[in-house]
Amino acid sequence: MEKVIIIRYCELHLKGKNRGFFERLFAVNMERALKGIKHEIRRRSGRYLIEGFEDDDIELILSKLNKVFGIHTISVGYKVKSDMGDIYLAAKLVCPASGTFKVETHRADKNFPMNSMQISAQIGGRLLDDIKGISVDVHNPEHMVNIDVREDGTSLIFGKFFKGAGGMPVGSAGKGLLLISGGIDSPVAGHMIAKRGMSIDCVHFHSYPYTNMQAKEKVIDLAKILSSYTCGTTLHIIKVTHIQEEIHKKCNSEYMVTLLRRFMMRIAERIAQRCGAQCIITGESLGQVASQTIEGMTSSNAVIEKLPVLRPLCGFDKNEIIERSKDIGTYDTSIQPYEDCCTVFLPKHPVTKPKMEDVLAEEAKLDVQSLVDEAIGTLEIVKL
């Protein structure tokens, strides 16, 4: 009898000829997550088993696996030979000492001499005889004893199913570049896209000395948290102080945010092409702030020449985004009171529905290419 952690994956079983690619990547991502922890990962006909670990590391392993996309459910249990005596001994360890219970069996091995109902009845009867504080409730049990008879001559016995992170293995859907600020929204947007299998790099724009170095460190901390879900990330840091100063000096102040967003998009596309990203990702939510109207988004998109722009939060309200940020562990860092570049030179009345001809007229007052090149020259790279 061996204690094991049982991993079941999500959508991978729907893949056809490419299924092997997804499964190999899934295993690699689990190995990365468990690096430095004693363990072995073995594939068993639609399951992955974590074996050879120390009991003291179980909680640590579970916490690491909870951030691996592609996992549907996780269970802690026992692997035994497919023998009724061995199955019963493991079931007795899983069964509670009191309360109601039910035994449920899945028999993948159709050559096993008993069917699922017979296995459940026999094991349940023996448990009921040997453990005096329990009773059977097949409709609404407090506890489950699950038996999974596999095709390889082994059986898995466990109690609970713990929900995994879901989604697809990171790296299976290309690479994107996330515009990450110090706020609540952008890390959630990156997490949502990574859940669909996309590797994530990040780009952050800062306005030192108008914003302090603590604001920059806050973003690095957010990128670190996000990287725990994405098998690592690279953070590109760009200074845009000179761009904001030029806009403030030469343009109508109402267009500060609109023009700055257009510069950010131009720079992001340049960085994306350098790092091999295939799209740009933002944390914009339709109508949340002045720059996130459909007219504002259209203005920003207009400067992108080759790449799509993904906005996974577009239909979310603020409370939904906050709840997700709490779930993924970024909320407490995001609400630290350090300003980002978008709050510098913020006009009292920013334009909310910019007309393209007006935007272009204001932008014509600037040497756009020179300002973009100067910003690219400030690039700092942090690997996380």
The CATH number for 106's domain is 3.30.2130.30
83 within 8 A of 36, measured Cβ to Cβ: no
Does pLDDT of 340 surpass 70? Answer: no
Final residue in a domain of this structure, among 111, 131, 163: 163
Specify the higher pLDDT residue, 181 or 278. Answer: 278
Judgement on whether residues 119 and 150 belong to the same structural domain of the protein: yes
- Same domain, residue pair 229 and 372: yes
Report if residue 13 sits inside a domain. Answer: yes
Domain count of the chain?
2
Establish if 295 belongs to a structural domain: yes
Q: What is the pLDDT of residues 199-209, one digit of tens each?
A: 999 999 998 88
User: Do 101 and 187 share a domain, yes or no?
Assistant: no
State whether 340 and 379 are in the same domain.
yes
Q: Which of 143, 163, 183 is the last residue of a domain?
A: 163
| Alpha helices (H) along the chain | 19-33, 58-65, 84-94, 116-130, 185-195, 213-227, 241-250, 256-275, 294-301, 318-328, 331-334, 356-363, 368-376
Residue 170 lies in a domain: no
> Is 9 a member of any domain?
yes
Q: Which of 38-47, 195-204, 228-237 has the lowest mean pLDDT?
A: 38-47
- Measured at the CA of 27, the angle between CA 23 and CA 28, to 5 degrees, comes to 115
Judgement on whether residues 62 and 127 belong to the same structural domain of the protein: yes
344 in a structural domain: yes
Q: Could you count the other beta carbons within 10 Å of the beta carbon of residue 195?
A: 21
Among 176, 244, 174, 157, which residue's Cα sits nearest to residue 208? 244
Evaluate whether 326 touches 187 at the Cβ level (below 8 Å): no
The encoded tokens of residue 281 equal 């990702």
Percent of the chain scored above 90 by pLDDT? 85
CB 342, CB 264: distance < 8 Å: no
Whether 151 and 182 map to the same domain: the answer is no
Domain that holds residue 358: 175-383
Of 95-104, 242-251, 309-318, 345-354, where does mean pLDDT reach its minimum?
345-354
Q: Among 142, 163, 184, which residue terminates a domain?
A: 163
Sheet of strand 199-206: strand arrangement: 309-310, 280-281, 175-179, 199-206, 234-239, 380-383
Determine how β-strand 199-206 pairs with β-strand 175-179: parallel
Transcribe 42-60 into DSSP letters: EEETTEEEEES--GGGHHH
| Whether residue 215 is found in the same domain as residue 137 | no
* End-to-end Cα spacing for the chain: 40
In a shared domain, residues 153 and 247: no
State the pLDDT at residue 339: 64
User: For residue 47, is it within any domain?
Assistant: yes
The CATH number for 203's domain is 3.40.50.620
pLDDT tens digits, residue range 127-167?
Answer: 999 999 999 999 999 999 999 999 999 999 999 999 999 99
Question: Do 152 and 198 lie in a common domain?
Answer: no
- Residues 6+ positions from 339 with CB-CB distance below 8 Å: 182, 211, 215
- The answer to whether residue 344 scores a pLDDT higher than 70 is no
Is 12 within the bounds of a domain? yes
| Each residue's pLDDT tens digit, 84-109 | 999 999 999 999 999 999 999 999 99
Considering the domain architecture, whether residues 8 and 129 belong to the same structural domain is answered as yes
75 strand-pairing partners: 6
> Two tokens at 199?
């590797």
User: Span 210-229, mean pLDDT?
Assistant: 91
Tell whether 168 is covered by a domain. Answer: no
194 and 339 co-located in one domain:
yes
Question: Is residue 240 domain-shared with residue 158, that is, in the same domain?
Answer: no
Chain-centre distance for alpha carbon 210: 32
